[in-house]
Amino acid sequence: MNDYQSVYLALSAILFGVGVLGVISRKDAIVVFLCIEIMLGAVNLAFVAFARANQSAEGLFMVMCIMAVAGAEAAIGLAIFVLLYRKTGTINIDKFNLLKW
Amino acid sequence: METFKIILPATDYVAVLPQMVLVATALIVLIMGVFKKFVNTSGVGLTALAGSVLALACALFVGHHGGPSSSFAGMVLDDGFSYFLTLVICIIIVLTILVSLNYGVFFENVKSGEYYSLVLFAGVGMVFMATAGNLILLFVALETMSISIYALTGFHKDQLKSGEAALKYFLMGAFGSAFLLYGFAYIYGATGSLDIIKISNFIKTHPQILHLKFMVAGFVLMLAGLGFKISMVPFHMWTPDTYEGAPTSITGFMATGVKAAAFAALIRVILVPLAPMQHSWVSLMWVAIFLTMTVGNLIALAQENIKRMLAYSSIAHAGYILLGFLSGTGLAQAGMLYYLMVYAFMNIGAFAVVALLCKKGEEFNNISDFAGLGFKYPLLGLVMTVFLFSLAGLPPTGGFMGKFYLFTEALRSGYVWLVVAAGVNSVVSIYYYLRVVVIMYFKPEVTENAVVLTAVSPGIIIALAVATTAVLIMGVLPSYFFSFAGNSIFSLM
């Protein structure tokens, strides 16, 4: 029954790693945000795999909550991006350096 | 076909009464903000104030009678720990709203309904974080708080600085939440439950799982996720930028409320259930605490902007509080709670003074703007001096007693060198706190573009008076508050 659990977990870890690398290396705010969404996808996959292994529904409920919250987060994030784009015409995170040290 | 009966006893609602009052107020305020034509603009803020005071009264008089209990099928815990933190967080919300009422005189947008409702929603998230008994509720509460604060950080829509602060906080905050969730996933995988009490019991009855890689990975990831929220080095990068760019009233809220809620989650989710793992995190935490204190204090020395200086100081204070986490004993945890309470008063107080020094649409944030303020406005200077003394940890203020409790417990647990480092750090920190006092009293007033107090409303006077009194009382009569904190820790579920 749980034969594939390690496969799912490995995939989830790889996806999480891809997300982390993307957040660290990419400069476009939207791409960075999408990488965070990839990380959340990895988390969801891990929860589903564990929920199947544990035979409990709690993990599945957590996945629903994560998806709902990710939607709310996207809404506020895109609002911030639009605000900055209107002001500066760019959302490259390297261009925002008013605040340092 | 089976029928399902859902029975919710009446006491369940009593356990979440402060949260319900806060949510109701937030919704009322939001609607009032929409009907601007019919409602006086100051009415919005006053309604929010009334609601938060009511929530504080509910937290004080209704919550937690008798022993610890859980409600909503274990989702909400009603124990002494919840009681203590709900009180602290409600006080923080009331003080923040009092400061915002005055801050709104300088910035028109802060008077709006959405500002106050976001503050209240963030407060609801914080209270639920402190009372959550289940990782699902904890996560949703954390995000309720964070999302409201992302929006509040960018509230000065006309200032690029504010937007930039919101962008940085948003990206780092979402990044941190993902780590926290991945940690939850591993803990869930290892223990088979998301209920904190069930996790705790499972670990007690199955000590062999502590050696599973899942548990260690889960711990490290959760620590990183909460580390973003409490601005622990190396996850502190966003803190100074966000604190500087955010509206000053919100900076005080973030520095105290978010930190109190995140430390509550840290105690509930990591320190108590994972206590059998303690030996495996000692060296990791030792390094993290040392870096957090040292980096925060050393960089604070070089700051010219008071908000930025207080941001680095808040990083250093997170390091001191984490000392209690490392010691891990009951008294050390009580010390953490005591310090969180003092820290709330002194930091909101300091930010309230900074929030007073504004003119229409502009803040005076440079430390040089404080020149001559001590003699020009003696009371304001005195109050700021009290807060800075307390932040520096000088007697007879609450900050001194807080450090005293945390350092003695760490010493008793055997972390001598770390306590020595903390002591050296405290001495270093006195330099940059007292520098502001010296500038206030011994520098002549600047002649052009001098700071003038244009608006001092009764609200902020009450806030400053309450914060000063609390800081002094907690310094002079600490035992009452310390035993309150101790009782709340020992009735932790």
A interface with B, Cβ–Cβ below 8 Å: 9, 12, 16, 19, 23, 29, 32-33, 36, 39-40, 42-43, 46-47, 49-51, 53-54, 56, 58-59, 61-62, 65-66, 69, 72-73, 76-77, 79-81, 83-84, 87-88, 93, 96, 98-101
pLDDT value, residue B9: 58
End-to-end CA distance of chain A: 54
Q: Does B237 touch chain A (CB under 8 A)?
A: no
End-to-end CA distance of chain B: 38
CA angle B336, B464, B468 (to 5 degrees): 50
For residue B244, which residues of chain A lie inside 8 Å, CB to CB? 99
pTM: 0.94
Cα–Cα nearest to B217, from A88, A81, A12, A96: A12
Which structure tokens are listed for B118? 């976001």
Q: Are B20 and B118 in contact (CB under 8 A)?
A: no
φ and ψ of B35, to 5 deg: -90, 65
pLDDT value, residue B212: 85
pLDDT value, residue A97: 76
Interface test with B, best of A16, A48, A62 (most B CBs within 10 A): A62
- Tell me the residue length of chain B: 493
pLDDT value, residue B417: 94
- What residues have CB less than 8 Å from A1, skipping those under 6 apart? none
Out of B135, B143, B160, name the one closest to residue A98 (CB): B160
Q: Does B109 touch chain A (CB under 8 A)?
A: no
User: Which pairing describes strands B69-71 and B362-363: parallel, antiparallel, or unpaired?
Assistant: unpaired
Q: Does B139 touch chain A (CB under 8 A)?
A: yes
Out of A23, A62, A76, name the one closest to residue B175 (CB): A23
Partner-chain contact A16 B157, CB within 8 Å: no
**3 state SS of A15:** helix
Q: What is the DSSP letter of B492?
A: -
Residue type, B282: V
pLDDT tens-digit map of B199-249? 999 999 988 888 888 898 999 999 999 999 999 988 998 999 999 999 999
pLDDT value, residue B150: 96
CA-CA-CA-CA dihedral for B224, B22, B485, B406, to nearest 10: 40
- What residues have CB less than 8 Å from B66, skipping those under 6 apart? none
Cross-strand partners of B134: B195
pLDDT value, residue B2: 60
For residue A79, which residues of chain B lie inside 8 Å, CB to CB? 151
Cα–Cα nearest to B381, from B331, B443, B338: B443
pLDDT value, residue A2: 55
pLDDT value, residue B462: 94
Partner-chain contact A54 B188, CB within 8 Å: yes
pLDDT value, residue B63: 64
B76 membership: H or E segment, kind and range: strand B76-78
Cross-strand partners of B359: B362
What sign has the CA pseudo-torsion B63, B66, B68, B72? Answer: negative
Alpha-carbon distance values, B244 to B164, B416, B434, B465 (Å):
10, 35, 20, 25
Average pLDDT over residues A33-56: 94
Tell me whether residue B304 is exposed, middle or buried, using C-beta atoms within 10 angstroms of its C-beta: 0 to 12, 13 to 18, 19 or more.
exposed
Q: Does B78 touch chain A (CB under 8 A)?
A: no
Alpha-carbon distance values, B133 to A96, B123, B130, B249, B324 (Å):
40, 18, 9, 30, 22
CA angle B268, B271, B276 (to 5 degrees): 130
Q: Does B243 touch chain A (CB under 8 A)?
A: no
> So where are chain B's domains?
13-492
pLDDT value, residue B248: 94
Cross-strand partners of B366: B305
Give chain A's domains with CATH numbers.
3-90 (1.10.287.3510)
Cα–Cα dist B97/B56, whole Å: 13
Q: Are A81 and A30 in contact (CB under 8 A)?
A: yes
Consecutive 10-residue averages of pLDDT for chain B (493 residues): 62 84 95 82 89 93 72 85 93 95 88 92 96 94 96 92 93 95 94 92 89 89 94 90 94 94 94 86 92 94 92 95 91 93 95 89 85 88 94 91 94 93 94 93 78 83 95 92 86 69
Cα–Cα dist B141/A70, whole Å: 13
Out of B165, B182, B192, name the one closest to residue A99 (CB): B165
φ and ψ of B251, to 5 deg: -60, -45
Q: Does B236 touch chain A (CB under 8 A)?
A: no
Cα–Cα dist A36/B183, whole Å: 15
